[in-house]
Amino acid sequence: MCNLYNVTTNQEAIRAITKAFDRLGNLQPSLDIYPDQMAPIVRNIDSGREMAWVRWGMPSSQQAIFQAASRRADRLRAKGKEVDFQELLKMEPDGGTTNIRNTSSKHWTRWTGIEHRCVVPFTRFAEPDPGSKVEGGRTPNAWFARDESEPLMFFAGLWIRDWNCVRKVKEGLINCDLFAFLTTDPNRVVGEIHPKAMPVILRNEEEIETWLTAPWNQAKVLQRPLPDDELMLLDEPKKAA
């Protein structure tokens, strides 16, 4: 599961490739993105296509939230406390789902239309490397990019507007725009480190246009591993920004 990526680029480069209107404001020269953080994306909106800051992590399934609330209710009851389960369920924190794999599930199919598609700029992404544990048991990250120059690339993503949810207990109920990107089977390069999945990567402007504009039966073909020779494992691990 990819839960960390970096974008080291400028807004003009993103705008030139995606043909989007820029509403980002200022984009830092290098930015490490972690789950539940704001990140730059390019999304379809009613008036066209825009670059905007959106929070990373689409809504988790109702089943996942119900199960989490049930576990919390059981812990409270074990302490002898009364539980209003419906209120507990309403206020159950959901940190979000960062990676989307099963796009045929009922949870995700409602958001596969063009109006919910986005692309996510990145220059490198990380996967935990369990074969390189360091002293103290910490698992370092392996970093992947197109090549050593780390050119701008894009994940294929989905987004929603004004989702009512509890992301963190201290925030309470909020409305926020959310996104996540798709994953697929890993290619050989990623699979040697993380055998379960890799992000869905769009290689060029044609694939970006297909993802943002084509009917789902055409766009979903892009949910496939990147060819082995179009991705590399970087030699030097990147330090967090």
Annotated domain spans of the chain:
5-59+94-233
Tell me how far the alpha carbon of residue 221 is from its chain's centroid.
19
Residue 76 and residue 65: Cα distance in Å, rounded? 17
The answer to whether 117 touches 160, Cβ cutoff 8 Å, is: no
HSE-up of 54 (CA within 13 Å, CB side)? 31
In the chain, the amino acid numbered 230 is E
Q: In terms of Cα–Cα distance, which of 186, 188, 123, 178 is closest to 155?
A: 123
* Predicted TM-score of the model (pTM): 0.90
Question: What distance, in Å, lies between the first and last C-alpha atoms of the chain?
Answer: 20
DSSP state of 228: G
Q: In terms of Cα–Cα distance, which of 229, 1, 38 is closest to 125?
A: 1
Question: What is the percent of the chain where pLDDT is above 90?
Answer: 68
Structure-block tokens of residue 208? 């970006």
pLDDT digits (tens, 9 = 90+) for 10-58: 999 999 999 999 989 888 989 999 999 999 999 999 888 999 999 999 9
Higher pLDDT, 143 or 137: 143
β-bridge mates for residue 121, sequence order: 154
Instruction: Give the mean pLDDT of 71-79.
Output: 89
Provide DSSP, 189-221: HHHTT-SS-EE-EE-SHHHHHHHHHS-HHHHGG
pLDDT at 237 over 90: no
CATH of 5-59+94-233, one of 3.40.250.10, 3.90.1680.20, 3.10.560.10, 3.40.50.2000: 3.90.1680.20
The answer to whether 123 touches 150, Cβ cutoff 8 Å, is: yes
**Model confidence at 140, in pLDDT bands (50, 70, 90)?**
confident
**Model confidence at 240, in pLDDT bands (50, 70, 90)?**
very low
